[in-house]
Amino acid sequence: MGYGLLAAAIAAEVAGTTAMKYSEGFTRLWPSLITVAGYLLAFSLLAQTLKTLSVGTAYAIWAGVGTAAVALIGMVFLGESAGPVKAAGILLVIAGVVVLNLGGAH
């Protein structure tokens, strides 16, 4: 159950961050509302996740997977630059999450 809530928290955070791109500095109503709703939902779900998962594990996965997902969305759908250095950075973020979880697995 904890990992399902964590996945939903990540999805909400990624949706909120993506909507923020379209909010134009919070000057557009609907993207701004989606941003706020996404982050409220993300933090609420993350708080529920912490009832069953350790904070280090949950936050590492939430931050790492969210960062990698937003970077990929930027490159694939928003026309942001994609190159070998950026790809290596995303892989290092994912590797860092894996290493943190291996070190803290119970």
pLDDT single digits (tens) 5-55: 999 999 999 999 999 999 999 999 999 999 999 999 999 999 999 999 999
Q: What pLDDT shows up at residue 83? A: 93
Kindly report the average pLDDT of the chain as a whole number: 94
Looking at per-residue pLDDT, the higher value among 4 and 57 belongs to 4
Q: How far is CA 36 from the centre of its chain?
A: 15
Q: What pLDDT shows up at residue 90? A: 94
* pTM score above 0.85: yes
3-class SS at 95? helix
Q: What pLDDT shows up at residue 101? A: 83
| CA atoms within 13 Å, Cβ hemisphere of 89 | 11
- The answer to whether residues 68 and 93 touch, using CB atoms and an 8 Å cutoff, is yes
pLDDT single digits (tens) 64-84: 999 999 999 999 999 999 999
